[in-house]
């Protein structure tokens, strides 16, 4: 996001609080999808030059059926000065995800489970990632697969991500959303990719080092990738530390080719 959008999102997040209406998160996700599908509406609500009061009136007129908490969060969003309309839509979506995370402590962990499920099933990846498929049908498919395995709240979030990809790969969207949910609850997510499983002692030491770096609790997800050959690759928020043998070999090839 641009600096203006980050500031607008941070300001809107001040409207988040414990005890929000349980429906508010999913309502905002639905609103984000509606706005994204209506360019004229998106431009009207995301226009940085328009008066905040007039945009708030549009919210009351068009979205008066939302819960009071969802309307308050949406009003906070339209009051900001976003860098562009696309980032405004992304901001409304993120507010919905954060609101949902407040009421679902397992959201980040369950989203990572779904991401792993998608990664392991090539046929499912193709079905959900196809640009030719009906988004509603794909959302129904994933909901049927997940029914009873994770919280209904998490299923609703996954359905939203499947039906509204907005140019994102599903596995990437799931992991990004998991990081947002974890952040809302005061922790970081780290993805550690290694060529072979870590020992329990190594995992404990690594988690401790990452928590020192992040300054708050870190949930570590380990991914096994034999193609790394050796070493380790760590992604913590937007930072990537690649100490794998594969990365060093790739770097050497680039230098030799220069």
Residues 67-76: what's their mean pLDDT? 94
Q: Is 25 helix (H, G, I), strand (E, B) or coil?
A: helix
Looking at the predicted structure, is the pLDDT value of residue 16 above 90?
yes
Q: Place 256 in a pLDDT band, splitting at 50, 70 and 90.
A: low
Fill in the DSSP letter of residue 46.
H
Q: Which fold has domain 187-257?
A: 60s Ribosomal Protein L30; Chain: A; (3.30.1330)
Q: Average pLDDT of the chain? A: 88
Summarize pLDDT for 81-126 with one digit per residue, the tens: 999 999 999 999 999 999 999 999 999 999 988 888 888 888 888 8
pLDDT score, position 235: 82
- Which has the higher per-residue pLDDT, 225 or 248? 225
Question: What is the C-alpha to C-alpha distance for residues 187 and 101, in angstroms, rounded to an integer?
Answer: 12
Phi, psi at residue 243, to the nearest 5°? -110, 25
pLDDT band for position 255 (cuts 50, 70, 90)? low
> Is pLDDT larger for residue 51 or for residue 229?
51
Q: Look at residue 48 in the predicted model and tell me its pLDDT.
A: 84
d(CA 125, CA 146): 15
For the stretch 173-216, pLDDT in tens is 998 999 999 999 988 888 888 888 888 888 888 888 888 888 88
Percent of the chain predicted with pLDDT > 70: 97
Residue 148 has a pLDDT of: 85
Where do the domains of the chain lie? 3-103, 107-183, 187-257
Q: What is the pTM of this model?
A: 0.81
Cβ neighbours, 10 Å, residue 222: 15
Q: What is the pLDDT, as a whole number, of residue 249?
A: 66
């Amino acid at each position: 996001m641009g600096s203006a959008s980050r500031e607008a999102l941070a300001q809107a997040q001040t409207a988040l609080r414990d005890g929000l209406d349980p429906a508010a998160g999913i309502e905002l996700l639905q609103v984000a999808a509606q706005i994204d599908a209506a360019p004229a509406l998106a431009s009207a609500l995301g226009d940085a030059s328009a008066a905040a009061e007039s945009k708030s009136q549009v919210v009351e007129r068009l979205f008066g059926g939302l819960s009071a908490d969802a309307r308050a969060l949406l009003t906070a969003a339209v009051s900001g000065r976003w860098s562009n309309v696309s980032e405004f839509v992304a901001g409304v979506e993120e507010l919905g995800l954060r609101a949902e995370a407040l009421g679902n402590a397992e959201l980040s962990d369950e989203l990572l489970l779904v991401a792993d499920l998608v990664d392991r099933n090539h046929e499912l990846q193709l079905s959900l990632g196809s640009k030719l498929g009906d988004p509603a049908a794909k959302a129904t498919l994933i909901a049927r697969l997940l029914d009873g395995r994770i919280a209904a709240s998490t299923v609703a979030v996954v359905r939203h991500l499947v039906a509204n990809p907005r140019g994102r790969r599903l596995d990437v969207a799931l992991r990004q959303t998991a990081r947002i949910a974890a952040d809302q609850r005061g922790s970081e997510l780290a993805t550690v990719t290694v060529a072979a499983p870590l020992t329990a002692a190594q995992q404990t030491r690594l988690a401790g080092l990452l928590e020192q770096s992040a300054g708050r609790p870190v949930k570590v997800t380990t991914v096994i990738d034999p193609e790394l050959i050796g070493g380790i690759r760590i992604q913590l928020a937007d930072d990537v530390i690649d100490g794998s043998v594969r990365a060093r070999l790739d770097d050497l090839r680039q230098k030799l080719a220069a």
